[in-house]
Amino acid sequence: MVNSDSDDDVYDDIEFENASEGDEDIDEDIIDALEGDLTAAVAAEGTEGEEDTDTSTSDNGSDDEDVYEDYVSPHKDLEQVLTQSLQEVPSLSKPPSPATESPTAGQVPQPPPQIRPPSPAQIRKTKLLSDIRWPRSFTVEAICAIPHPCATHALASSLCMTHLITGSDDGYIRDYDVFAAVNGKIFLTAPQRQHCGVIEGIMKAGQIRCWWENAIPVVNPEGPNGEAPLYPVYSLAMQSDALWSLAGSDQGHVCLHTVRHSPGRLCHVMHGHRGPVSALSLQHDEKGFFSAGWDGEAIHWDLNTGQMARRFSAHGAQLAGVAVRPLSTNFIHNPYNTITAGSEFTVSMRGSRDDQQMNHAPSMPPPPPPQALNQAPKQEDDVKSEASYDPLFDEPDAEGDGDGPGGQNPYTSFPGYGHGPPNGQHLGRGAIAPKGAPPVLDPTTYATFSPDLLMTAHVDGQVILWDRRVNTPGRGVGRLWMSEKTPPWLMSACWSADGAQIYAGRRNGTVEIYDVRQTGRAASGTPKILKTLRNPGSSGVVSCVVAFPDGRHLACASTDNIRLWNVAEAGEPDASGKMKSGVQFKIIPGHHGGYVSQMLVDPAARFLVSASSNRGWHGEHTKTVFVHEVKHQF
């Protein structure tokens, strides 16, 4: 048994226990170990001056003393504490007089609590992110290409990008050394350049550390074990120090492998999904993770036990992504942001005309000015444009109420839930609610949410927020409002670095920016569409989005290219009040043609890595993983 309590803590516990009459919770093992010494001490005090009449007690005491002369008890310090505490019981058990004594009189002052020193991982993380100063803009260039024999569905990396692992459709997980590749002098050969589609320029080649199979050994009790089949890797996650990694397969299980030491050793297999595991997301403390599957469920796993902790079930649509809301305390302040880090729970969102009006009269919002009335149809036309309307998937509700098909929604029985657009949003009718889906978040319900949120993105276009601290079915869950003209087929969604916004990539080539900051006012504290980023019409489907750690920029991958958007300045007027004209994004060279399955950016914004595959759905893809260098422009 490992004892982690200090002597002072034991003294406090014994003092508390002896102060209560009839307490028999003292450890029997400790009493047995100290029985000899305590008996000798009591006998010595009670028989002082009567040694001639009580010889047996004296002899026994002598025997005990002889025994303990040659044996040093391992609990010597603890024996002294117990003996002293037993002697102080009468004085401590007497309650202090309120008139003459202070409640703390006679008590030993408590030492200050011990502060655990930071772990080596925390020290490395602090050093890595301590001297970062965010620039006004970025320039991203592809400098390394890693050819693969097949499509690459997933990526994961350590915090410092020392280890980069890829999960492919062939069932192999490959570990690459990014720094050795970008700093080395090994370039792509002519066949590799043709395979990667790199015709012009000089591109460095990736350097692999090791690889292992994503397989589960087959145990045959009657004979030799059979050959383990390989399972395609559909999702990956890695511990910040590259000690272990998680791999979600197409058969619904998640495998835990070692990475840094004994790479590829299978430690545990977690079964829970009934289809491919499309996404993984680690908790902030890395003691658990969330998995999203094609079966429409998100599962919370406890890594201490390897067992399932909770299921998040909505309306059964396939899940394309799952993500935990970032901590605002981990966000590094950007001097170019108008809203400081951690203020998402205290101030209204920037650019919302409704919130600006609410600042004057929080209890009762005044009618919008004529200028706002003239601008509202423009925003509605932008969201309900014909380019975003698809009659194959979007069929307007005949009754025009925006509710789902027939049948009672299990969530409607709870007060505070609604189906219309949130207060302050006048973007037209809402999309038809899928059967069994939670209702749209309303201000009353969202005001009760904690900052500890989980976001799930569904293929049918729905984005649902879950309050992780609420375990009651039907409570603590709601979906974000979506226009009836917004098409389904949502392939990627992510949080901003500060946790204040959600970026959702749509099939019509747009990215919707949801503001989820909680203002504390029931009339304006509802997630709403802040703005919509629209790519050129020929760009194709938005297959992947990833937020930059500065909280201002977003990388958006389409079929033709990857674009870098400045979310904070896109669609905003300049200092003179005029709207900016021209192209408001930058092209990131490297990827061209095919869907991008996943992109990742390191916390210091030094590298951007992109992989290409259709993630098991449909569409063209390439067989190359690109490593981009991110240059800061101040």
Residue 225: its pLDDT value, please? 66
Q: Inform me whether the pLDDT recorded for 363 exceeds 50.
A: no
Encoded tokens for 74: 């391992």
Confidence of residue 283 (pLDDT cuts 50, 70, 90): very high
By CB atoms closer than 10 A (0-12, 13-18, 19+), residue 89 is middle
Is 336 within a domain? yes
The Cα–Cα gap between 145 and 257 comes to 26
Residue 441: its pLDDT value, please? 87
349 DSSP 8-state letter: P
| Exposure string for 32-68, b = 16+ CB within 10 A, e = fewer | ebbebbeebeebeeebeeeeeeeeebbeebeebeeee
Q: Inform me whether the pLDDT recorded for 612 exceeds 50.
A: yes
328 DSSP 8-state letter: G
Residue 578: its pLDDT value, please? 80
Same domain, 423 and 477: yes
Across the range 314-331, mean pLDDT stands at: 86
What is the percent of the chain where pLDDT is above 90? Answer: 42
Is 177 within a domain? yes
Q: Which domain holds residue 174?
A: 135-312
Sign of the CA dihedral with 387 first, then 392, 394, and 399 last: positive
The interaxial angle of helices 28-46 and 55-70, nearest 10 deg, is: 130
Nearest residue to 363 via CA among 518, 521, 525, 517:
521
Same domain, 346 and 381: yes
Phi–psi pair at 397, nearest 5 degrees: -70, 135
- The runs of H, that is alpha helices, within 406-471 are 443-446
Largest CA distance in the chain: 112
Instruction: Say which CATH number the domain at 276 has.
Output: 2.130.10.10
Is 420 within a domain? yes
Range from 65-69, 257-261, 363-367, 471-475 carrying the lowest mean pLDDT? 363-367
**Half-sphere CA count of 163, side-chain side, radius 13 A:** 25
Q: Inform me whether the pLDDT recorded for 396 exceeds 70.
A: no
- For the entire predicted model, the pTM comes to 0.70
Q: Are 506 and 461 in contact (CB under 8 A)?
A: yes
The Cα–Cα gap between 171 and 229 comes to 9
Give me the torsion for CA of 267, 273, 279, 280, rounded to 10°: -40
Q: Inform me whether the pLDDT recorded for 345 exceeds 80.
A: no
pLDDT single digits (tens) 508-548 = 899 999 998 865 554 556 788 889 999 998 888 999 999 99
pLDDT single digits (tens) 204-225 = 999 999 999 999 987 766 666 6
> Tokens 């890395």 sit at which residue?
286
Q: Inform me whether the pLDDT recorded for 10 exceeds 50.
A: no
Nearest residue to 611 via CA among 88, 233, 222:
233
Higher pLDDT, 476 or 18: 476
What is the percent of the chain where pLDDT is above 70? Answer: 65
The Cα–Cα gap between 252 and 342 comes to 37
Q: How many domains does the chain have?
A: 3
Q: Which of 542, 575, 609 is where one domain is finished?
A: 542
Best-predicted range by mean pLDDT (107-111, 293-297, 390-394): 293-297
Higher pLDDT, 558 or 328: 558
Same domain, 279 and 226: yes
Same domain, 200 and 55: no
Is 296 within a domain? yes
Same domain, 241 and 348: no
Across the range 44-72, mean pLDDT stands at: 47
Residue 428: its pLDDT value, please? 63
Same domain, 178 and 73: no
Nearest residue to 138 via CA among 547, 505, 611:
547
Same domain, 288 and 420: no
Same domain, 463 and 488: yes
Do the bridges between strand 172-177 and strand 207-213 make them parallel or antiparallel, or are there none, so unpaired?
antiparallel
Encoded tokens for 263: 């790479």
